[in-house]
Amino acid sequence: DAEVVLVGRSNVGKSTLMRELTGHDVSTGSKPGVTRQPNHFDWAAQDFMFTDLPGFGFMSGVEDERREQIQTEIVRYLEEYADRILAGVLVLDGKSAVEIIDRHADRGEVPHDVEMFHFLREVGIEPIVAVNKMDKVDDADERLNEICDRLGLYPPWQQWREETVAPIRAKRGSIEPLLECLRTRFREEKRDDLLGFV
Ligand code: GDP
């Protein structure tokens, strides 16, 4: 069994990305917080799948308690299936990620995205950071360096581009940098049989 999971705050574009990766519309609804179950997409007769986990972080109209529950479910899922998960794609909104991270850090909290990045590593899942909505970012290099800095990845971002940091525009179908990171990952895991999926 092999799996690639997508994690990220709600509204970062995970469903859009999932659609690009699989060619299927897997979104379960437009209301935030409705994606209760992991959203699997697998290929018949193949042991590989992409999984879209519920969005975490603030969602208007979703209570704190429900949010915590979602967070717990995500963590449990990642712990349980860590062995078969070849990559954890942390999807960020390039336009707003740094601002949100800094706001939380200023309040003395650990920002969700930063926490998730480190958590993935802790459970042995190699994180790939897909920085989405790059079409809304003016200075791409500067923004990507800031994101690296916040995640503890030594800038410049270019040195992470092959395996860890992928600027994308899911809505425009531009996800090649992410596919490149996934290919690198599969090769590292000696899973060349999976290259056909990306
Ligand atoms: P999810 O909640 O993470 O599943 O996010 P969605 O896939 O539903 O996307 C949230 C919003 O972001 C939608 O309005 C998308 O059209 C938009 N979106 C997704 N990808 C991009 C992108 O690359 N650029 C821009 N500008 N918007 C995007």
pLDDT digits (tens, 9 = 90+) for 109-141: 999 999 999 999 999 999 999 999 999 999 999
* pLDDT given at position 145: 98
Q: Which residues, at least 6 apart from 36, have a Cβ–Cβ distance to it below 8 Å?
A: 54
Instruction: Please state, rounded to an integer, the average pLDDT across all residues of the chain.
Output: 91
The CA-to-CA distance between both ends of the chain, in Å, stands at 16
Cα of 189 vs centre of ligand 1, distance in Å, is: 30
pLDDT band at 37 (very low <50, low <70, confident <90, very high): low
User: E strands, the chain, where?
Assistant: 2-8, 39-42, 48-52, 85-93, 127-132, 165-167
Highest mean pLDDT out of 32-36, 52-56, 60-64, 128-132: 128-132
* pLDDT given at position 6: 96
Cα of 105 vs centre of ligand 1, distance in Å, is: 25
* More confident position, 152 or 66: 152
Distance CA 21, CA 43 (A): 12
Look at the alpha carbons of 119, 167, 57, 16 in this order and tell me if their dihedral is positive or negative.
negative
Domain ranges of the chain: 2-28+36-197
Q: Does ligand 1 come within 6 angstroms of the Cβ of 135?
A: yes
Task: Check whether 36 has a pLDDT greater than 70.
Answer: no
CATH number of 2-28+36-197: 3.40.50.300
* pLDDT given at position 150: 98
* pLDDT given at position 26: 63
Cα of 81 vs centre of ligand 1, distance in Å, is: 27
Task: Check whether 106 has a pLDDT greater than 80.
Answer: yes
- Which residue has tokens 């459970």? 123
Q: Does ligand 1 come within 6 angstroms of the Cβ of 95?
A: no
pLDDT in tens, 148-167: 999 999 999 999 999 999 99
Cα of 151 vs centre of ligand 1, distance in Å, is: 22
Q: Does ligand 1 come within 6 angstroms of the Cβ of 170?
A: yes
pLDDT in tens, 80-91: 999 999 999 999
- Which residue has tokens 């809304």? 136
pLDDT band at 61 (very low <50, low <70, confident <90, very high): confident
Q: Does ligand 1 come within 6 angstroms of the Cβ of 136?
A: yes
pLDDT band at 25 (very low <50, low <70, confident <90, very high): confident
* pLDDT given at position 41: 72
For strands 2-8 and 127-132, give the pairing. unpaired
